[in-house]
Structure 1
Amino acid sequence: MGGYDFASLNKPLIYTGALKKGAVKRLKDTLEFWVNVTREDALKVNSEAYQLIVRTRLMHSYARLKIKEKSESWNSEKWGEPINHWDMIATYTGFSLVFLQGLKKLGIKISAEEEKGVFHLWKYIGYLLSIPAAFLPDTRQQAVQQFYWWATLQEEGDEDSARLADALLQENMDNTIYKFKFQRKMLRHAHQSVNWFLLDKEVLERLQIPRPPVVFSAFPKMVLKGNQLAQKRYLKTPQRYAKLVEIGNKQQMEVLKDYLEHTPKDFHY
């Protein structure tokens, strides 16, 4: 959600008609990508995860060519090339640096070895997505520096940003994983509360994300407390740590299964 606050980064989504299609398919695609590429031994050549990366690389290339071919109003001087390397690196940072920062804010303790592993993994994924390896950071310090310089050149969120943010919240209502409307509404409020917990007030205002009902404001704190308790229980020994990884993997695979089953079939490739 926070990435929508960078106006130029969003323009390829606008020009490819993502708003008209809604956020259900995009969220399914992103979830399917993330879950598959982060499993153990996932990135062997021609594995399912490897093929997802190649598919994403081809999709980026196709979108880049078509935007330039079909859209006379694309402003290269203002926005750069569609889906350019620096914007791709910023997106990669969302899966590494910003991801780690969000987890820490939600009470997750991350070791130096785990942090190093996250950056190593996403450097390789970024390379497979066509970003030159020399451009990709190896450490949190390098990522912070890169992200800072990139952010200084970005315009703040605009009307398109707010529309994309609204579409992402609306995904909770459009998705059919939960049968009843009141359940979907509760999920939307839960996601609003997490946004209000993780994002700065200025970003929330620019993206026009409504404040959730008061009763949902405690939800992120409950997540934080649950994470802290789980870590106390499972981080005492390597065996317990392995059990926590096993539990997390099972939960993530179940969520992916739900999305794959409930995304309308005409949304699939």
Structure 2
Amino acid sequence: MGGYDFAYLNKPLIFTEALNKGAVKRLKYTLEFWVNVTRENALKPQLEAHQLIVRTRLMHSYARLKIKEKTEQWDFDNWGEPINSWDMIATYTGFSLVFMQGLKKLGIIISDEEENGLFHLWKYIGYLLGIPAEFLPDNRQEAVAQFYWWTTIQDQGDGDSVQLAKALLQENLENTIYKHSFQRKILKNLHQSMNWFLLDEEINKRLQIPKPAKAFLVFPRIVVKGNKISQKIYLRNSTKYQKLVEMGSEQQLKVLADYIKHTPQESPH
């Protein structure tokens, strides 16, 4: 959600009319990509994760060509090339640097080894996606510096950003994983509470994310408390820690299976 506050970054989504198709499929594609590429030994050629990366690279190339071919309103001076390397680096910094910042705010302890491993993983994924390896950050210091300089050429969220944020919140109500409407409304409020916890107040207001009732605002703090307690139990013992990793992996795969089951299938044409 926070990425929508960078107006220029989101323009390819607008010009490919992804907004008109809703957020359910986009969220499913992103989740499928992330879950698959982060499994152990997943990036060997011919495996599903490797194929997803190649497919994403081809999709980026196709979108880049079609935007330039069919869109006279594309503002090259401010936005650069559609889906350019620096925007791609910033996006995948979201899966490493920003991802870890969010986890830390939720009470998760991340070791130096884990941090370095995550940057190494996403550098390789970025390389497979077509980003020149020499431009990709190796560690947190490089990622922070790159991300800072990239933000200096971005504009803050605009009307398109608000529409994208609205569509992402609406996904909670459109997705059929939960059968009843009251369950979907509760989920939407929980996600809004996480946005208000993880993002600055000015960003939430700029994206017009409604502030949920006080009863829901305590949810992130409950998550933080639960994370701290579980880590005290599991981090004392390497065997228990591995069990925690396995439990997390199973939960992620279950969420992905639910999304695949409940996301409308693509037309065969």
Shorter-chain TM range is: over 0.9
CA distance in 1, matches of 2:212, 2:14: 27
Determine helix, strand or coil for the equivalent of 2:109: coil
1:198 matched to 2:198? The reply is yes
Which residue of 2 is the match for residue 78 of structure 1? 78
How many residues are aligned here?
269
Determine helix, strand or coil for the equivalent of 2:44: coil
Compared CA separation, residues 268 and 9, structure 1 to 2 (3 A): farther
Deviation at 1:266, TM superposition (A): 3.1
Which residue of 1 is the match for residue 127 of structure 2? 127
Which residue of 2 is the match for residue 149 of structure 1? 149
CA distance in 2, matches of 1:267, 1:254: 25
Q: Is the 8 A contact 1:165 1:207 kept in 2?
A: yes
Q: Is the 8 A contact 1:190 1:216 kept in 2?
A: yes
Which residue of 2 is the match for residue 139 of structure 1? 139
The one-letter code of the counterpart of 2:32 is E
CA distance in 2, matches of 1:90, 1:19: 21
Deviation at 1:268, TM superposition (A): 8.8
Give the alignment of 1:42-191 within 5 angstroms. Answer: 42-191=42-191
1:260 matched to 2:265? The reply is no
Tell me the TM-score normalized by structure 2.
0.99
CA distance in 1, matches of 2:112, 2:47: 29
Compared CA separation, residues 58 and 190, structure 1 to 2 (3 A): same
Compared CA separation, residues 129 and 268, structure 1 to 2 (3 A): farther
Deviation at 1:267, TM superposition (A): 7.0
CA distance in 1, matches of 2:32, 2:223: 23
The one-letter code of the counterpart of 2:108 is I
CA RMSD of aligned residues (A): 1.0
Q: In structure 2, list runs of 5 or more residues that go unmatched.
A: none
CA distance in 2, matches of 1:169, 1:202: 18
Q: In structure 1, list runs of 5 or more residues that go unmatched.
A: none
Tell me the TM-score normalized by structure 1.
0.99
The one-letter code of the counterpart of 1:137 is P
CA distance in 2, matches of 1:125, 1:268: 29
CA distance in 1, matches of 2:123, 2:265: 33
Q: Is the 8 A contact 1:25 1:267 kept in 2?
A: no
CA distance in 2, matches of 1:253, 1:25: 17
Q: Is the 8 A contact 1:196 1:204 kept in 2?
A: yes
Determine helix, strand or coil for the equivalent of 2:154: coil
Deviation at 1:175, TM superposition (A): 0.3
